[in-house]
Chains A and B, each alone.
Chain A
Amino acid sequence: MSFAEYSEIIQEGDVVIIFLGHESMMPIKVQSGAQTQTRYGAIRHSSDLIGQRFGSKVTCSKGGWVYVLHPTPELWTVNLPHRTQILYTTDIANITLMLELKPGSVVCESGTGSGSLSHSIIRTIAPTGHLHTVEFHAQRAEKAMQEFKEHKVSHLVTVRNQDVCKDGFGITGIADAVFLDIPSPWEAITHAKSAMKRKGGRLCSFSPCIEQVQRTCEALLDHGFEEICTLEVLLRVHDVRAINLPLPDFGPEEGSADSSQMASDVSQEVAPNTGNTSVICRTATPPREMAGHTGYLTFATKPQCE
């Protein structure tokens, strides 16, 4: 197992994701002899996990069962221990595409935060790329490093514990892309520019507030960045379900079909069980509440140097 490479069989030391049911998961580290409690009972790592295939069903001690999944950056994003606010998959997907990340890309990121985006970047740029991530909070930097090791991707990433606005990314002239998720990104634009390759590259800054965006765009323009573009993406998750629509009763109609006849004109299925006629239809409804704002994504291109 690695976050950048699939494997078939669960081994000691792997991180696996236990799928407990609808939107309910937990990550665990596999260690022989260890046990993990779930609400369906205990999972014994030696017998239930090690040597099993990823994706198989595991029966817990109380007779309930769960699925064990191979970790991916996307599963990690919804399961990781939060040390900060994190970026979610929808934004990450757009950042990855708009920064043109691919195997071999050299990427700078700051701050590392909880490592949600970092895992995704590492997955995309492996096996030949490298991530240089900067986190000014010593404990977070330490924790991230430890996670990368556990997830078997530490060879693809360098974590630096420094202030990106003051000290930059610790590299010059080698980055294809830079990502900023810090409170004052405009203070890091100079460093971003010098970290990037001579032939140019892409930059992205994530900010929750429009004032931050404003200042960042001004700084980008001042530093000669081009193709400056700010956008926002939201995800709507649709709830698929069967709904029941009762049919109104207009009373008997002179010499014509009754209302249940009409029901079958309206739609495909008629609920047979109830006395009242109603129609069942499958539909997808948006959730009652959804994330309405995560942050603005500002992208720009650093042109080649003359």
Chain B
Amino acid sequence: MAESVNDSDAESRISFGDYVVLKRGDVFKSVQVENKKKVIFEKQWFFLDNAVGQLFGTRFEIEAGGSLKLKAAKHSGDSLDSKEAGQDNRHILDDGKSQKLTRDDIETLKEQGLKGQEIVQQLIDNSTTFKDKTEFAQEKYIKKKKKKYESDITILKPSTRLLAMMYHGREPGKICHLRYDTLAQILTLGNIHAGSKILVFETCAGLVLGSVMERMGGFGSVIQMYPGGGPTRAGMESFGFPSHFHETLHEFPLCKVNALLAGTLDLSEKDADGNGRSESSQETSGVSEERSSEPQSMEVSVDPQEEMRRVERERLREQKAQEKKVKMEEKRKKLASAAALLEGRNADGLVIASRFHPCPVLMGLLKFIAPSRPFVVYCQYREPLIECYTKLREQGGAISLRLTDSWLRHYQVLPNRTHPVLLMSGGGGYLLSGTTVAADAAKTRNQHKSEEPVAKRLKLDEISSA
């Protein structure tokens, strides 16, 4: 097999315009690399300019003035340990005087531009109790101080893993408290893969959309159903997908679903929409709109200069109207292409993760899915999903319904100190998943195969033990 992949190529190097994820310890932040842009991360500010040209995964130190400097290969100066150690803490008193350096001293050290590691060494040298601490306690002390004073940052390539962990850590409210292990379930239970046609309805900042797109790898199509004026995609943008991925992304407003289903969706509405503009399109496009209404306000005095300005404004307005027309036309085309994709009612999957009541969304969108395809609904709360479950049972058209949640526990693994991490997440939301089947006359339903489990071939519990 010819399997030599040249992996030191351009795509693994950081360049201007790239979306990257900054990492310090367990904290992440997503930013776009721009010329001379000041970035604030974990109470520090710096410029990313020096990172350009370096490989993703590179570690940097922040120098005075906010410039990044390549971190020297590690393992060299990692020998902070002192050789002495105590057995237990029977002689260690908490008198608050064990550290001989004062806060001011430390500040001075920092101002002198001392490296994080050197400061930590100073703290150790000036701690009267350090050498009495047990080996484990010493290690813990160093780790804690390192975290505070050694401020390396790593620049990483965005991925679902990093962005999902970032959102969950920083802004869980924005993603309906969707935990990353739950997102993992969504993508797998939804059988998201290249070449499919997937419907996504989400109000998770575009994170779920982005994760679906990552799994499709630019093959197939994604139709984002959106509420209100337009789709939210900030999270998706942070993935920094190549441009051909965007060609597979379509959007369709939820408020036009009924019209589409009824066959009354008017796709020639470019003018209808365009004429009644300002007002009506303010709702639909929202963004490019703000300034078009302001020129009308002051047109009382007429001196020649004012006149000239008026003409100029007129010209600008015309130009704007032209641009708008083009935009409207583009929008119409996009709507038509999304509608065409939906009309076949043969989508390969449905993913819902929103702050809206999932029941009507599910019932409405399930109509676009082909039989024998999976669907997954996320909700932060369990009760709305119970309702969905009941409704689907009544209505039919779906089997293998499962209401689940997952439980995630992290472990500290260290020699002689292995245990679950003290703090764990209380809940990562709930999922309802199932498979569509051909709808039938609804009569035969609930006859012989109701909900009772069948003993035969029940192989669920084979996990017993190894």
Contacts and interface: CB of A to CB of B under 8 A. Distances in A.
B460 A23 contact: yes
A39 B390 CA distance: 27
Interface string A60-79: 00001101111011100010
B357 interface: no
A103 B219 contact: yes
B409 A24 contact: no
Interface residues of B, number: 89
B161 A98 contact: yes
B161 A100 contact: yes
B444 A123 contact: no
Interface in A89-110: 89-90, 92-94, 96-98, 100, 102-104, 106
Contact of A24 (B57, B160, B403, B458): B458
B181 interface: yes
Given A72-B191, A74-B189, A103-B216, A199 B55 contact: yes
B53 to A, nearest CB: 14
Contacts of A303: 57
B440 A230 contact: no
A296 interface: yes
B105 interface: no
B195 A240 contact: no
Contacts of A199: 7-8, 12, 55-57
A82 interface: yes
A67 B404 CA distance: 23
Contact of B185 (A67, A90, A171, A174): A90
B193 A54 contact: no
B448 interface: yes
Contact of B5 (A174, A236, A289): A174
A8 B309 CA distance: 63
Given A53-B438, A97-B161, A127-B194, A21 B406 contact: no
B454 A106 contact: no
A262 interface: no
22 contacts: A4-B193, A6-B196, A8-B370, A19-B400, A21-B454, A22-B451, A22-B453, A23-B453, A26-B457, A69-B435, A74-B188, A74-B374, A97-B161, A97-B187, A124-B215, A214-B415, A238-B430, A240-B390, A240-B403, A284-B389, A284-B403, A304-B55
Nearest to A229: B410
Contact of B466 (A208, A229, A306): A208
B184 A23 contact: no
Interface in B365-423: 370-374, 382, 385-387, 389-390, 399-411, 413, 415, 418
Given A231-B411, A282-B390, A94 B181 contact: yes
For chain A, the bracket of interface size reads 35 or more
Given A100-B159, A213-B418, 5 more contacts: A53-B372, A56-B437, A103-B194, A127-B219, A236-B407
B411 A232 contact: yes
Given A214-B413, A231-B408, A240-B386, A55 B193 contact: no
A20 B450 CA distance: 11
Contacts of B202: none
A74 B463 CA distance: 16
B382 A238 contact: yes
B161 to A, nearest CB: 5
B94 interface: no
Taking each of A82, A92, A240, A298, which has the highest tally of chain B beta carbons within 10 Å of its own beta carbon? A240
A188 B448 CA distance: 52
A54 B435 CA distance: 11
Nearest to A296: B411
A251 B438 CA distance: 53
A73 B188 CA distance: 9
A120 interface: yes
Contacts of A126: 193-195
A70 B372 contact: yes
Contacts of A21: 449, 454
A56 B438 contact: yes
A65 B444 contact: yes
B405 A238 contact: yes
B402 A237 contact: yes
A104 to B, nearest CB: 6
Contacts of B5: 106, 174, 197
B409 A232 contact: yes
B278 interface: no
Nearest to A98: B161
A103 B217 contact: yes
Contact of B7 (A24, A198, A217, A229): A198
Nearest to B162: A100
Interface in A110-142: 120, 123-124, 126-128
